[in-house]
A and B are shown apart, each in its own frame.
Chain A
Amino acid sequence: MTPEHISHEQADEFAIGAMAPDVRTYVAFHIDSCASCAEIVRESEEAAAALLLAVPRRQPPGRLRENVLRSAGIRKAGPIGRIVQVATASAGVAAVIVAIASFTGMVSVRDQMNGLREENGRLQTQIDDALSQKVEILALTREVQEQEQLTNDLKTASRGDRDLILALSSPNASVAEVITVDPNQVAIGRLVWDAEQKKVWFIAAHLPQRPNGETYQIWVNSGGRYVSLGTFNTDVSGFARYETFVPQGLASYESAVVTIEHANGALERSGPSVFVSDLSRLRR
């Protein structure tokens, strides 16, 4: 063994596990501090790992899932519904991992919104008009942002909330009004569709919290097929802000609907509808 860089041949021997233990130790030590050799070994390991991808597929006993969740100390995770795969997200990790605001963060933003509504009914009316007409609200958002208190509060809000505000102020975002199915319901909702960030937000207020065993689920109707956008629940005050990615594989989307489903979400839209929203005129 030499105190030199690792050859391709050595990288292959290392990756396939054929190296004598002393040389193996040297290689492991070396790639810890040498990025170029680590990259060579990584390529070899990708090729070696392929050997396992080719093995005949077998299913483990059904009890294994419970055993794993119990051993890991997880009690709530599952069963995962068999939900339609729309597209494999290819965005970077940071973009894919949506920062869901902490409870306090959301309460803070909600209070801001409520406070703002009370003290500025005129602005709220304008916002509502803008939302229902699905026009850009850039100018209005600027007006909102001019309020120093709100700006300061927003600085302390979570990253997710800032993303929403940014989306609202983006010319690429479209806002759809969400209409309650039950005319006696006081719930209000908005769907924010950001074509550039490929994100969609759903915001609801005065929407009753689902009891244990139930959840709200958002669906988007694409050519007559309802594709799940995910599940959410409201907090005790009936507020929800849910965000996810715009499904990439869909050619069209005509409408969205929010239904009540069993706790883990449904495979197919099956529960009663709460909200509907017309997406046909959204900017793509």
Chain B
Amino acid sequence: MPLAAGAAARTEWTDEALMHAIAARDEIAFGVLYDRYVDLVYSASLRVLGDPQLAEDATQDIFVRLWRRPESFIPDRGRFLSWLMSVVRNRAVDELRARGRRQRREATVTTSEGEDDQVSLIPSGEGDDPILAAQLHEEQVLVRKALAELPAEQRMALELAYFGGLTQQQIAVALHEPLGTVKTRIRLGMLKLRRSLGGQVRD
């Protein structure tokens, strides 16, 4: 191609614009999107899988699939970041199930509260991209605050489902609680999450 528009302009593109370009086989756009989100995808995979090698494999798999099948992202159905996180979650939980690591996660999920102190010391991976980093950081702060304000049992129910891949029946069994109690915790937990994120509040 005689006109090689470089990465410079693309770093200013929205996620959705980059995905559009990736669908048109724009390799530079893919590189920019990779750099923007690799730390987040890796960290999220690591959170679910608890194993650096598995997290690395999952991250590679997610990005390669994103390049090969960019049409799996449908802009009308929500923003890119949420879609990406659901891809990460599903990929990681599938892995978790395949490897039979569920027992291990159940045992460690209760320790997650302690991570927050450590978090603030770690710069996010978007340091090269100040505005994006600020947006992500702001969102991260909101979510962490929201999670910190959740009663422990609600947070645990959400994390066992989302990070542990457990159904509410399985959570009820694991926690020796009635199914109705678990359902209520999930409902209240989600309601508070949405509220703190500024989303639509529902009954």
- A residues at B contact (CB < 8 Å): 8-9, 12-13, 15-21, 38, 42-61, 64-65, 67-69, 71-74, 76-83, 85-90, 93, 96-98, 100-101, 103, 106, 209, 215, 217, 228-236, 239-242, 244-245, 247, 249, 264-265
Of B16, B63, B183, B187, which one neighbours A93 at CB under 8 angstroms? Answer: B16
Q: Is the CB of B14 within 8 A of A51?
A: no
Of A13, A85, A89, A230, which one neighbours B14 at CB under 8 angstroms? Answer: A89
Closest to B160 in A: A18
Given contacts A16-B162, A49-B86, A86-B12, contact A230 B6 (CB under 8 A): yes
Looking at chain B's contact residues, the main secondary structure is helix
CA gap between A60 and B187 in the complex, in Å = 34
- B residues at A contact (CB < 8 Å): 1-9, 11-14, 16-17, 20-21, 24, 27-28, 30-32, 34-35, 38-40, 42-44, 46-47, 55-56, 59-60, 63-64, 67-68, 75, 77-79, 81-82, 85-86, 88-89, 93, 115, 118-119, 122-125, 128-132, 135-136, 139-140, 142-144, 146-147, 157-159, 161-163, 165-169, 171, 182-183, 186-187, 190-191, 193-194, 197, 199-200, 202-203
* Extra A-B contacts (7), CB below 8 Å, given A48-B190, A59-B39, A83-B8: A8-B203, A12-B187, A15-B190, A53-B143, A58-B39, A68-B59, A88-B135
CA gap between A84 and B166 in the complex, in Å = 43
Q: Is the CB of A8 within 8 A of B89?
A: no
Chain B hits for A51, CB < 8 A: 143, 147, 158-159, 162-163, 193
Of B2, B14, B89, B169, which one neighbours A52 at CB under 8 angstroms? Answer: B89
Q: Is the CB of B122 within 8 A of A38?
A: no
Minimum C-beta distance from B36 to chain A (A) = 9
Minimum C-beta distance from B34 to chain A (A) = 7
Given contacts A52-B47, A96-B13, contact A45 B8 (CB under 8 A): no
Of B8, B24, B190, which one neighbours A16 at CB under 8 angstroms? Answer: B190
Chain A hits for B55, CB < 8 A: 60
Q: Is the CB of B171 within 8 A of A18?
A: yes
CA gap between A49 and B60 in the complex, in Å = 20
Q: Can you name 27 A-B pairs with beta carbons within 8 Å?
A: A9-B183, A9-B187, A16-B158, A17-B165, A18-B161, A43-B194, A43-B199, A45-B78, A47-B194, A47-B199, A48-B89, A51-B193, A58-B46, A59-B125, A60-B42, A60-B55, A60-B56, A60-B59, A69-B31, A81-B6, A83-B8, A85-B11, A96-B17, A98-B5, A215-B4, A232-B4, A264-B7
